[in-house]
Amino acid sequence: MSLSSNNKSGFLGTEGSTKRETKSSLHIQIDKTVDDTFELESQDKMSMCIDILSEGFVQSFVDFFYLTHRPSQSPEHLGHGGDYANTQKPSHMRLLKNNLTHAEAARRRVGDVDIVYESYITLARHFEEKNDHHTGIYFYEKCLEIACLTVDSKGEMIANHNLGTAYEHVKHFERAIACHKRHLELSKQSGDQTQTVLASACLARAFKLQAKHLRSAGKFNDAVICFEKSLAYAKSISDEDTLANAHYLLGCAQLDIDRADAAKEHLEIYLRMLSDGNESERAKAHCALSRANEMMGRDDAALDALHDYLACAKRAENFDAQADACSRLGAIYTRKELHGRALEFYTQNFATLRTMVHRKEASLVRLNKAKVNLGAAKANLAMSRILGAVNQGKIGGLLKWKDARTEI
């Protein structure tokens, strides 16, 4: 019995030891593989640097060395210890080497400027695809420099377009707008209508992005100015969706600075431009219109807009918008002292939110707020019935006040 127990204990100990040794061996193999990979990449990088320099491409060597020895610009490329890996894949390094050296060689020859331009634009697009927009901008600027030096109008248009789009990605909106404006100017000079439309569309987008950035920073007046410029450029292109969206965004921004009349005008234009069946967008527009009418003290018009908002939200099966519409309707009916109607919509609001919480689509905080509003609506209705009975001298009516009370 004792011998069997000892054998069992020994067997388990051996198995545990074997597992630990296997695991340790695996870690050693993994670490060795990673180290070998880094060493191989370092050797490739070194050999390429030596090749570039020995071939006489000094500027290419400087650019190649910087681009392959800096921290990675993409957060997913993590190396040892959480630091950015400063090694590159061989295919990436070969692309850098080939295009940098081709460009430098072409710059030394007369009439080969197109090769220089193509090499730099290839590198710029390569880095843009990797979401390294700053490096993309560096090479796009080289393209623009070459196009300007050679008086290449088409190349300058393309470079400004690419550079402006890259600046949008890094939120340098003033620079992006300047590039797109130069693109538009050149396209008008050349009479290229396709490029004119493209530049105008880019300007509408750039001003819209800048306006959204300003609005999120609380700079509402500046945001309105940018939205107005976005709308102006949107009008110059044949794109109904872009134009409609510009009207909507400008209308919403004008509500931020209490320009309800102007906001209402743009929101109504937006509604007219929407295609049939686009219920989600119609719901958004009716919601904003209700805000505009409320700001102007037009509660009846606000109620009409909110009823349209609720109807569109139901057709779109948007529960969040339905709850919002019911809550807003309840608030206005309460202000108008139509407590029965207010209770009706606060009840719908609570029921919708309860369903959403069950589906994990809304927070308990929001549901509790709806519950408070519902309780207040019931109290308001009860009080209004009591006061009505007292004012009419119908004491018996006081006995019916319980009719206004319902369980949640």
CA distance 208 to 293: 25
pLDDT at residue number 324: 96
Instruction: Kindly state whether residue 362 falls inside one of the protein's structural domains.
Output: yes
Residue 118 has pLDDT above 50, yes or no: yes
pLDDT digits (tens, 9 = 90+) for 47-58: 888 888 888 888
CA distance 311 to 283: 8
CA distance 173 to 230: 13
Residue with tokens 């509660």: 299
| Closest-CA residue to 173 (of 222, 108, 237, 130) | 222
Instruction: Kindly state whether residue 187 falls inside one of the protein's structural domains.
Output: no
Instruction: Kindly state whether residue 387 falls inside one of the protein's structural domains.
Output: yes
| Closest-CA residue to 248 (of 258, 233, 235, 263) | 263
Beta-bridged to residue 169, according to DSSP, are none
Does the global pTM surpass 0.75?
yes
Provide the domain limits for residue 406: 327-408
pLDDT at residue number 54: 82
- The structure tokens listed for 214 are 């300003």
Average pLDDT over residues 304-308: 97
CB 328 within 8 A of CB 354: no
CB 119 within 8 A of CB 103: yes
Instruction: Kindly state whether residue 367 falls inside one of the protein's structural domains.
Output: yes
pLDDT digits (tens, 9 = 90+) for 84-97: 343 467 777 888 88
Residue 150 has pLDDT above 80, yes or no: yes
- Asked which of 80-89, 105-114, 255-264, 298-307 is least confident by mean pLDDT, the reply is 80-89
Instruction: Kindly state whether residue 141 falls inside one of the protein's structural domains.
Output: no
pLDDT level of residue 68 (50, 70, 90 thresholds): confident
Instruction: Kindly state whether residue 333 falls inside one of the protein's structural domains.
Output: yes
Instruction: Kindly state whether residue 403 falls inside one of the protein's structural domains.
Output: yes
pLDDT at residue number 55: 84
pLDDT at residue number 67: 84
Angle between helices 133-149 and 113-129 (to 10 degrees): 160
pLDDT at residue number 392: 66
CA distance 167 to 209: 11
Instruction: Kindly state whether residue 121 falls inside one of the protein's structural domains.
Output: no
Q: How many domains does the chain have?
A: 1
Average pLDDT over residues 163-168: 96
Q: Which residues contact 401 (CB under 8 A, 6 or more apart)?
A: 382, 385, 386, 389
